[in-house]
Structures are given as structure tokens and as C-alpha cells.
Amino acid sequence: MNRSSLRPLPTTGALGGILEALAFFHDPHFAKKRFDRFGNIFETSMIGQRIVFIQGGKAISDLLSQQDAIEGWWPESVRQLLGSHSLANRNGSAHKTRRRVVAQLFSTSALQRYSPEIINMVNDLTVELKRLQSPIPLAEEMRHFAFSVIASTVLGLKGTDRDELFSDFEIWTKALFSIPISLPGSPFAKAIKARKRLLDRLQKLLSKPINSNSVLDLLSGSLDEVGIPLADEDLAEQLLLLLFAGYETTASALSCLMRELLLNPQVEIWLREEIDLLSWPPTPDLANMTYDQINAPRLNALVTEVLRVTPPVGGFFRRTKQPLIVDGVKIPENRVVQIALAASNRHGVGDLDSFRPQRHLENECSATLLPFGDGDRICLGKSLAELEIRLLGVGLLRRLQLVIIPGQDLTLRQLPSPSPRDNLLVEVK
């Protein structure tokens, strides 16, 4: 591009950025309002931190294709709670090696190993929902389900071990996007203590003999970037990352999917026409294909639309290591860039504000959709998340008819991931 045709980086003019930070946390349309005003790229400041926001396919692919000029970045609270070994906080070869190690837990054969247990969990959940007295907080049930899939199926934790991990994990999650000052009694101080207990527990798990019915044996003997075996402390931080990355996100996708079906009965009728023709349970070895795009196009269009309108990861970050050009705008070195997925998913031609899964079967979606990210940090758990969502969707809808309880707050709390404020109260018909 001719340098003279470069556009200057638009800025909101915020300096201290206290009001911008408050607006960011409280206004779900924070980014959209500013994109409408400044275009697809703008810079603002939040509590002293300059942040560039970008949206749209061109800007996002320009940024993520310049891998050598960017690196991963997380807010300080997330960085401290995940830990310095976590692959989310590593870059270059240290990141790549750990990704390769963790990716073993999400290979096709690993997913085949998980499938029978996930199918059983779906069956148990439907029995449990039939037994419970209404109103049932469905979003909480979805959280337990998503946590159990990772804790039981991937990490091999059962019973009280799993329950204790869950309660510490909830304390830890609450402080992820908080002020990272460890004042006694503050959410962050409690989360730091919970982190220590979580890591102790995860390290104990790793020190169990190989072949104790989890797939963690796949990690034994893993080497770091200079060929030295990864310490248990290092591996434990990777497992903590999996709980973080895989639990809240999938729980949000499941809750938002059920919420949309309950709010849009005509979509539920349309979906059930397909689901009623599918067999349940699937053959475990084939579970990841039985309800895929080819065999269950409506279900997959629904999932795509849910991830578009309520993306579990509304935005993720990079830091520029050198000046770079994105969609005709020069972004200086050492800037934090937020890839604003939530706003980007509604940016394009046509009515992108309405919920309409059918658009994905009619190839009528002009927005670039990257719910699992892209490039060298693309989500490692994508296949597991898709498997869980499809199995739960089919298993639950085949056996249950849910009815929404009136008079509740169905709006979404946005952070860390969208979730219905009153936990989506339902009864089983």
C-alpha cells in the first residue's frame, strides 16, 4: 500500500480512561458505538492502558496474518491467575511447544475416548432434569455439565475431588477480570489462594501412576522447547488453562443456545423436525460425525448463529511488537489490540441484529465469523466444544420439552461470557 494512502489511527481522545473503562464493563454496545463513529479501527485508553479495537474480516485477517509482528496479551488479572507457565502467557517457541503437548488431549482418538462418558452425562442430566422440581436454573445445570466434561472426562476427576475443584474454580473465575490488587478479603486475594489449591490438586493428579483411567498419560514425557521434560508445575498450569478456556465458554454457548430456543419457539419447531429424525444415542466411535454439518445441518446452523449473536469470547487481545498496517491504518508498536468479535459478528450487509439460524443454510451472512479465533492461537478445544454442544443439543431435545418460567430477567450478563441473569429458569413439560 502507498504510504500516503494510509489513514491515521482514529482516537476517542480519552486520556486517563476511567470513564472508558466503566463504559466498557457496563455497556454491551461499547465497541459498536465507537465503531459506528470512528470506523473499523479506533484507539482509546482504559485506566492508563491504550487499546486499539478492530472489527471486520479485512482488519482481523490483516492483523492475525502478521504473526511475527504480534504476540498474545491478557489483562494483568488474567495473566497472574493463569500463571507464567501457561501457554496463554507464552509466545514464540515456548507457546508452540506447549500447544503441541496440550493438543494431544483433543485429537480425534482422544475425542473418541471421551464420547461414551459425555453421552452418559447427557443421559444422566435428562433424568435429573425430569426429577427436579421446577423452577430449574438451566444455566447452572449447563455450567455443571460443561465443568464435568472437562474435569471428569479430560482430567479424570470424580466425586468429591471434582466437587472441591469446582468450588475453588468458581472463586478463581470470579476475579479473572478484576483489579489485580491482593488486598486481604478482596476477590483477587481469594482467587490467588484458590489458584494455589487448584494447582496443588492438579499436580497431585499428574503425579498419579500412568494409565489411571484419564488421558493425562498422554502428557507424560512431554518436552519443552529446548528438549527438557516439562515440570509438573508447568503442566498443571496448562490444565488450569483448559478449565478456564473450556468451562465458562462452553457453558455460555449451551445456556445461550437453550435461551434462544426458548425465546424463539418457531426455531425450536424447525429444529425438532430435524432432531426427531436423528438417532440417539450415537455410536460412541462415530459421535463426532453423527451430528455434524452434513448429517444435522439445522443444528449446526443454530450453533453457528448462537456463537454469532452471543459469542462466548466477545473479544481477545494481541500486542504489537512493531508498527503494522491493518485495513489501511497504521497501528504503532507496543499497542494492545482487541479483536472485537461480538461487534464484528454484527458488522456487514443485511439484518445482522436478528437471530435467524436459517441464514447460514442460505449462505446469507456477510459477517466474518471466527468464534474460535484464528491463526496460531486458534482454540485448541474447538472439536471438543462442538462435540459437547451437539451431543447435549440432540440428547436433551430428543427426550425433553422445556418451558420457560415467566417473569424472570432473561437479559445477559456479559463477563466473563454471556449468561442469562436469572439463570434461565425452566420447567419440564
Dist CA 370 CA 309 (whole Å): 12
Q: Among residues 147, 255, 316, 391, which is the contact residue for ligand HEM, using CB under 6 A?
A: 316
Q: Which is nearer to ligand HEM, 148 or 187 (CB)?
A: 148
Minimum CB separation of residue 76 from ligand HEM in Å reads 16
Q: Which is nearer to ligand HEM, 9 or 110 (CB)?
A: 110
Minimum CB separation of residue 161 from ligand HEM in Å reads 18
Q: Which is nearer to ligand HEM, 102 or 175 (CB)?
A: 102
Q: Which residue is nearest to ligand HEM (CB)?
A: 381
What x-and-dash track marks residues 136-175 binding ligand HEM by CB under 6 A?
--------------x-------------------------
Strand partners, 402: 428
Residues 355/268, Cβ–Cβ less than 8 Å: no
Binding-site size, ligand HEM (CB under 6 A): 25
Q: Which is nearer to ligand HEM, 41 or 60 (CB)?
A: 60
Q: Residue 379's Cα: distance from chain center in Å?
A: 8
| Sequence-separated (6 or more) residues with CB below 8 Å from residue 60 | 54, 339, 344, 368, 370, 374
Q: Among residues 121, 176, 342, 385, which is the contact residue for ligand HEM, using CB under 6 A?
A: 385
Q: Which is nearer to ligand HEM, 385 or 392 (CB)?
A: 385
Minimum CB separation of residue 341 from ligand HEM in Å reads 7
Minimum CB separation of residue 242 from ligand HEM in Å reads 4
Q: Which is nearer to ligand HEM, 72 or 284 (CB)?
A: 72
Does 384 sit near ligand HEM (CB under 6 A)? yes
Binding positions for ligand HEM, 362-381, rule CB under 6 A: 371-373, 377, 379-381
Phi, psi of 368 (to 5 degrees): -85, 120
Choices 112-120, 176-184, 204-212, 237-245; region in contact with ligand HEM by CB under 6 A: 237-245
Phi, psi of 73 (to 5 degrees): -150, 140
Minimum CB separation of residue 249 from ligand HEM in Å reads 4
Binding positions for ligand HEM, 184-223, rule CB under 6 A: none
Write the CA distances from 371 to 180, 379, 388, integer angstroms: 27, 9, 16
Choices 123-131, 155-163, 211-219, 241-249; region in contact with ligand HEM by CB under 6 A: 241-249
Q: Among residues 250, 290, 338, 344, which is the contact residue for ligand HEM, using CB under 6 A?
A: 250
Minimum CB separation of residue 31 from ligand HEM in Å reads 16
Choices 8-16, 112-120, 122-130, 249-257; region in contact with ligand HEM by CB under 6 A: 249-257
Angle, helices 138-148/159-174, rounded to nearest 10 degrees: 110
Phi, psi of 58 (to 5 degrees): -65, -50
Minimum CB separation of residue 305 from ligand HEM in Å reads 13
What x-and-dash track marks residues 73-102 binding ligand HEM by CB under 6 A?
--------------xx----------x--x
The arrangement of strands across the sheet holding 425-428 comes to 136-137, 425-428, 402-404
Minimum CB separation of residue 245 from ligand HEM in Å reads 3
Minimum CB separation of residue 308 from ligand HEM in Å reads 11
Give the residues lining the site for ligand HEM (CB under 6 A): 72, 87-88, 99, 102, 150, 241-242, 245-246, 249-250, 253, 312-313, 316, 371-373, 377, 379-381, 384-385
